[in-house]
Structure 1
Amino acid sequence: MDLDMGINEDMERSWSLLSWVASSVMVLGGVVPYVPQYLEIQHSSNTEGFSTRVCLVLLIANILRIFFWIGKQFELTLLLQSVVMILTMLVMLHLCCTVQSTIRVSTKQHRFTDLDLRYFWSWSRFEDYLLFCFVFTVLCAFVTFLFLNSMLFVEALGSLAVLSEAMLGLPQLLQNFQNRSTRGMSVKMVLLWMAGDVFKTTYFVINESPAQFWVCGTVQILLDVAILLQVLYYDLDTRAKLG
């Protein structure tokens, strides 16, 4: 009996440790793929290989996810993940704004307050992106607390949040196609994205997170595969031209 209790206690400790590690990876793992991209932009002073639209998608998705959590409390880990991802995207935007300001030839400055849709998300200062996030957050807060008692609204909010995140790779996919190049990207980088999305989706399924989350993860994996194929194709095309 004592032996069985000891084994059960060891298993519980091991499971708790594994759960803690998995939660830590969920919170911080999403940042890892952007580290080499950040270093590449910083080193080359070139933002061509990174689409700031990715930041837009992730900022919107994670701000919405925070309000989804307010309406329907799920794992605290996923809430912390959203906060960390928002901070990461702001850091990436700050770097891109800094780099672009040093190479910008035109003296024309574009501001969020201009309300010019032609330059939406192509503003000149980092402060304009912060202002957009603030206005969007205030608007979401107002609407959420207005309809917080409606379960239909809460579920729709969650679906919108994860649908936005599911489209994460789409801006990068379109930019690669438009430029006919994946400069600044590598197979290793995309495989890191894919590994993260596979782990994330598995975590959602094991922890029985709301269905919106694992659907989001599945779509992200499919987009990762498409981007990986782009990297391989354009790399072969470049080598063929040089050879």
Structure 2
Amino acid sequence: MILTMLLMLKLCTEVRVANELNLKRRVFAAADNKDEARAPPRRSYLDLDPQHFWHWDSFGDYVQCVLAFTGVAGCVTYLSIDSALFVESLGFLAVLTEAMLGMPQLCRNHRHQSTEGMSIKMVLMWTSGDTFKTAYFLLNGAPLQFSACGLLQVLVDLAILGQAYVFTRHPLKPAPHAAHPASAKAL
């Protein structure tokens, strides 16, 4: 799964950089004086600029960042593995992260006041899977963080379905954009 995600990230980076290069060429061609139009500086993860975090120009920057994060997280985990508080906190952060996977989609829908381009069938599948998972946690007496995060995940899914209902039945304003990327949770 990690390898697939890295390959998708490589493809996305190549497409984005190619699109930016085409835009730069058009800007340079339109400029009367090429000295006036300057290419923006290359963005690297080593710049540590929070404004451009995860918007780097090279796939190698993403790989370096993932490897650095994995190394630091691995060392911290190795040194703290005997701490019950650390292990419980790490587990909670893991299930909370999974529970929040639908939030970018929920926020995007709210921002655009539209669910155009979003698959209702996909959200129904999320909801059914998350509901069964949460029921399993509740029925088998899983630790509280599993049940709480499962319920949160189901609530986020239901909120997205609610948005789909409201925005298709009572559109507040037309969507300001023509096409939407795939939802965040699906990525």
- When normalised by structure 2's length, the TM-score is 0.69
What are the ranges of 5 or more consecutive residues in structure 2 without an aligned counterpart?
Answer: 25-38, 176-187
CA distance in 1, matches of 2:110, 2:81: 41
Q: CA RMSD in A?
A: 2.9
Q: Which has the higher contact order (CA 8 A, sep 6+)?
A: 1
CA distance in 2, matches of 1:93, 1:163: 23
Task: Give the match for residue 165 of structure 1.
Answer: 98
Task: Give the match for residue 55 of structure 2.
Answer: 122
Matches within 5 A, 1:131-146: 131-146=64-79
Does residue 12 of structure 2 align to residue 96 of structure 1? yes
* Greater fraction helix: 1
Q: Deviations over 1:143-172 (max 9, x none)?
A: 111111111211111112222222221122
Matches within 5 A, 1:8-23: none
What are the ranges of 5 or more consecutive residues in structure 1 without an aligned counterpart?
Answer: 1-83
Which of 164, 181, 186 in structure 1 is aligned with 2:119?
Answer: 186
Q: How much has 1:237 moved relative to structure 2?
A: 4.8
Cα distance change, pair 97–236 in 1 and its aligned pair in 2 (3 A)? farther
Which of 156, 160, 174 in structure 1 is aligned with 2:89?
Answer: 156
Q: How much has 1:177 moved relative to structure 2?
A: 1.8
Q: What one-letter code is carried by the residue in structure 1 that aligns with 2:118?
A: M
Deviates more, 1:189-198 or 1:125-134: 125-134
Q: How much has 1:208 moved relative to structure 2?
A: 4.6
Q: What one-letter code is carried by the residue in structure 2 that aligns with 1:158?
A: G
| 2:165 counterpart SS class | helix
Q: How much has 1:196 moved relative to structure 2?
A: 1.9
User: Do the aligned residues in 2 keep the contact of 1:159 with 1:212 (CA within 8 Å)?
Assistant: yes
Task: Give the match for residue 176 of structure 1.
Answer: 109
- When normalised by structure 1's length, the TM-score is 0.55
| 2:82 counterpart SS class | coil
User: Do the aligned residues in 1 keep the contact of 2:45 with 2:62 (CA within 8 Å)?
Assistant: yes
User: Do the aligned residues in 1 keep the contact of 2:113 with 2:171 (CA within 8 Å)?
Assistant: no
Cα distance change, pair 237–101 in 1 and its aligned pair in 2 (3 A)? farther
User: Do the aligned residues in 2 keep the contact of 1:110 with 1:119 (CA within 8 Å)?
Assistant: yes
Cα distance change, pair 179–218 in 1 and its aligned pair in 2 (3 A)? same
Which of 124, 147, 152 in structure 1 is aligned with 2:80?
Answer: 147
Q: How much has 1:116 moved relative to structure 2?
A: 0.9
Q: How much has 1:193 moved relative to structure 2?
A: 1.3
CA distance in 1, matches of 2:67, 2:108: 27
Cα distance change, pair 206–173 in 1 and its aligned pair in 2 (3 A)? same
Q: How much has 1:136 moved relative to structure 2?
A: 1.5
CA distance in 2, matches of 1:154, 1:235: 44
Q: Deviations over 1:98-153 (max 9, x none)?
A: 44334333564432222110011223344333322222111111111111111121
